[in-house]
Structure formats: structure tokens, C-alpha cells
Amino acid sequence: MFELLCFNALRIVIQLYQSMDAWDSSLPDSINPNNFPAKLWRLVNNPVNEAIRWDREGIVIVIDQHLFEEQILSPSNSSSSSSTALDNKDAFKTTNFSSFVRQLNLYGFKKTDANVRDCCHTDQVQFHYFYNPNFKRNHPELVASLRRLTVLNKAKIKAGLDVKNRGPSRYLRYNDDGRDKDVKRGMCHCMAVCGEIAQ
């Protein structure tokens, strides 16, 4: 029993290291890592999470509602030491599953039926399936196309105007040479301004 437990733990660690790029660093720099789509991308691509995953084709996300509420939306998940606990950067502001679904809908995700080939679940587990053409496994570049469909943004899209995503904080934006555009490395914006005034 102990050997099996150790083997499973080792398997999870190996999967985690093998998929690090897929669930964290593969998103384009133009995407704010704190926005809902970036958090969702990291969650669905994180092999440690059992509550949310891709379907077999990698075009639909599958959510086990009970596990999702317990492991992802639970207010105690940030203090948990379990392997499925979230980093603070991946925590959502809500603890309510219906609010999470509302966020999915605001970003254009549509609820869909289970893929027949992906149905190997027991009837007692409540799975939800969501699709968005700009959210597909192995295509992180599509995440930049996701827009929050507020009333104002829908009107802009209907008028043919471009809807911008909120980019990363200016403290995360860098020039081509890797240096920060707005501030010197290691200094916050107010320190840089105060330094300019003092000179």
C-alpha cells in the first residue's frame, strides 16, 4: 500500500514537471496573468487538478462540480497543504459555482452536452461541459482573443470596434532588451518618480 502511494505521488510530480510549460509559461506576454482567462488556462492545463480538465479532443473543458467547489472555490484552499491547493495567483474571487459559471458565460463560453466518447463517468457525479472556440488545448495564443462580453464590449463588437483586453500591469511590461519600460529594476513607480524629482 505504501509503495503504491509513493508511486502515485511520484507520478504526479513527474506529470507536474513535464507539463509546467503547458500550464504556466505558455501564455503570451500580452495576457494579464491575473485575468480570468489566464487563471482558467492554468487550471485546466494543470495535471494536478482533478476538478477541471480538457475533454479527449482538447476543445471542451470538463468540470466536476463537487471537486471544483471543494478544491478550487473553497475558501480554505489557499491554506491547504494538499497537492491540489491553488497558488494565490490562481484563486478566484468567488466561492460560488454559479458565479464561476457566470464568468465563463461573460467570456463567451457556452454550456454543451457531454461528448459521447468522453463519457466514462458515474451518474452520481455532476459534470459540466463548456466550449469556446478561442479556448483549445495546445493553443495558448487563442486565449488573447477572449473578451469579457459586457454590454459595452458587445456594443463595440457590434459596431466593428476593437475591444482591448486589460494588459499586464505596467510593472510587468518589458522592453525588447528585457528591461522595464516605466521603472528601473527593483524600484516601484513612486520611487522612480521621487528619484527623478530629487535629481
Q: Rounded to whole angstroms, how far apart are CA atoms 136 and 142? A: 7
Q: What is the mean pLDDT of residues 38-44?
A: 93
| The one-letter amino acid at 14 | I
Most confident of 13-17, 138-142, 187-191: 138-142
pLDDT band with cut points at 50, 70 and 90 for residue 52:
very high
Q: Rounded to whole angstroms, how far apart are CA atoms 31 and 11? A: 31
Cα dist from 68 to 90, 134, 137, 153, whole Å: 13, 22, 19, 29
Mean per-residue pLDDT over the chain, rounded: 74
pLDDT band with cut points at 50, 70 and 90 for residue 43:
very high
Question: What's the pLDDT tens digit per position in 59-101?
Answer: 999 999 999 999 888 766 544 444 444 555 567 778 899 999 9
